[in-house]
Amino acid sequence: DIVMTQFPDSLAVSLGERATIDCKSSQGVFHSSTNRNYLAWYQQKPGQPPKLLIYWASTRQLGVPDRFSGSGSGTDFTLTIRSLQAEDVALYYCQQYYASPITFGQGTRLEIK
Amino acid sequence: QVQLVQSGSELKKPGASVKISCKASGYTFSNYALNWVRQAPGQGLEWMGWINTNTGIPTYAPVFTGRFVLSLDSSITTAYLHINTLRADDTAIYYCAREPPGGSNWFDPWGQGTLVTVSS
């Protein structure tokens, strides 16, 4: 199985500042035949299901604010939240869909400093 | 709008079984596979498997073979997760989630989740 590891486990950032969450996969999730990284990011607020933010490592889902961006390739990926808002307090998960079984990172808790 | 609405919370005794439903609406049911994801209390996300809504054929993550059964009733655009011989460690929120056509397995949207509590 591909193991997804997120860094850090928790993070406190001041309002208006940048938040970055890293995700590392135990093997590459880039598929040369499609030239894509099979990596998604989700946001989960308390009592709610996860919400898709980013797929193909850097494609923002429709309706997701442009302060959210994804980057990286191969085994190393980053979710960046530019100018943190109060409503961004949540758990964030990365997910690989390169190989079965699909696996998620352990989650990163983002709080306001 | 695209929606997945799941059945309500369940309280079961160890050894019992449970069937959770996921009603899809707002799109052509057979065009999008449905996945199931488990989230134990205070824990992360575990992918359980998916079901092809065109053929009805399920695929399970290795950890979820045996006691877990995915099925469909396409006539009412509903998918089901059946868990047999429940154990205390099956206590979790179970989500259904749609994936886009073509086998790209990101999930959007998700159902609201069904809490299953297994306790004597």
pLDDT at B94: 98
- What whole-number distance in Å separates Cα of residue B51 and Cα of residue B58? 4
With CB atoms and an 8 Å threshold, state whether A93 touches B59: no
Q: Is residue B106 less than 8 Å (CB to CB) from chain A?
A: yes
State pLDDT tens for residues A56-112. Answer: 999 999 999 999 999 999 999 999 999 999 999 999 999 999 999 999 999 999 999
The 10 Å Cβ neighbour count of residue B90 is: 20
Residue type, B100: P
pLDDT at A70: 98
With CB atoms and an 8 Å threshold, state whether A97 touches B112: no
Q: Which residues of B44-69 are buried (b: 16+ CB within 10 A; e: fewer)?
A: bbbbbbbbebeeeebebbeebeeebb
- What whole-number distance in Å separates Cα of residue B32 and Cα of residue B34? 7
Q: Is residue B63 less than 8 Å (CB to CB) from chain A?
A: yes
State pLDDT tens for residues A14-73. Answer: 999 999 999 999 999 999 999 999 999 999 999 999 999 999 999 999 999 999 999 999
Compute the mean pLDDT over every residue in chain B, rounded to the nearest whole number: 96
pLDDT at B103: 74
Interface probe with B: pick from A29, A79, A91, A97, most Cβ of B within 10 Å: A97
Q: Are strands B18-25 and B3-6 parallel, antiparallel or unpaired?
A: antiparallel
Residue among A26, A31, A3, A33 at smallest CA distance from A98: A31
**Minimal C-alpha gap between B79 and chain A (Å):** 18
**Minimal C-alpha gap between A94 and chain B (Å):** 10
**Minimal C-alpha gap between B62 and chain A (Å):** 8
Strand intervals (E) in chain A: 4-7, 10-13, 19-25, 30-31, 36-37, 39-44, 51-55, 59-60, 68-73, 76-81, 90-96, 103-104, 108-112
Arithmetic mean of pLDDT, B37-60: 96
With CB atoms and an 8 Å threshold, state whether A55 touches B106: yes
Please name every residue paired with A56 in a beta bridge, in sequence order, or none if there are none. none
Q: Is residue B45 less than 8 Å (CB to CB) from chain A?
A: yes
pLDDT at A56: 97
State pLDDT tens for residues B33-46. Answer: 999 999 999 999 99
